[in-house]
Chain A
Amino acid sequence: SAVISQKPSRDICQRGTSLTIQCQVDSQVTMMFWYRQQPGQSLTLIATANQGSEATYESGFVIDKFPISRPNLTFSTLTVSNMSPEDSSIYLCSVDSSIGAETQYFGPGTRLLVL
């Protein structure tokens, strides 16, 4: 199974600032995903990070607010831009368990509080 780490594990930020979250996998993977989990809620997919191409965003999420990088097959970043208190959430990255697989491995999450 893939081991996924995220940095930072948590942060407290001021409104109007931006935070970049890193996701590192211990093996090469095809698909990487970014999710948001608002307090007490379920997970909502933000975007799929594709290596060598632009990320694919879900409805309601835009690149200007959540720019994503995927420079190689083991690493991705998600930036939360111009933050407001409504952005306070847990942000999780995940990867496909293998090429074409249907299950995902998840990172431990980044807990973000925006004041």
Chain B
Amino acid sequence: SQQGEEDPQALSIQEGENATMNCSYKTSINNLQWYRQNSGRGLVHLILIRSNEREKHSGRLRVTLDTSKKSSSLLITASRAADTASYFCATGNTGTASKLTFGTGTRLQVTL
């Protein structure tokens, strides 16, 4: 399977804490993206990092990419209850730029 692995599978934190989730993948990639899904609904794109980048920021999100280890991490700082969702990494692979391969996902629960 080309699908990436994410860990942890589930994460529960309190509001204000930071949340870190990790993604590992198997093939060469053009880019790695993170998406959020609320309660089994549609996915929302969060951030994209290209294979020649090591770190990227967007608001409270920080993404790192280590192509030598074929892994990425997503950090959400100062979490809010509204961040409660499932988070998926997705890779755009070399030669198939439009197609995405999704990871297994991390379910994040942020409590008050």
* A interface residues, Cβ below 8 angstroms from B: 4, 31, 33, 37, 41-45, 48, 90, 92, 94, 96-97, 100, 102-109, 111
Contacts and interface: CB of A to CB of B under 8 A. Distances in A.
Interface residues of B, number: 23
Contacts of B101: 45
Given A102-B31, A103-B48, A45 B41 contact: no
B45 A104 contact: yes
B42 A106 contact: yes
B42 A108 contact: yes
14 contacts: A42-B3, A42-B88, A42-B102, A42-B104, A44-B3, A44-B102, A45-B100, A94-B43, A96-B98, A97-B45, A102-B30, A102-B33, A103-B33, A109-B41
Query: Secondary structure at chain A's binding surface: helix, strand, loop or mixed?
Result: strand
A107 B42 contact: yes
A43 B98 contact: no
B40 A48 contact: no
A35 B43 CA distance: 11
A43 B101 CA distance: 8
Given A42-B3, A45-B100, A106 B40 contact: no
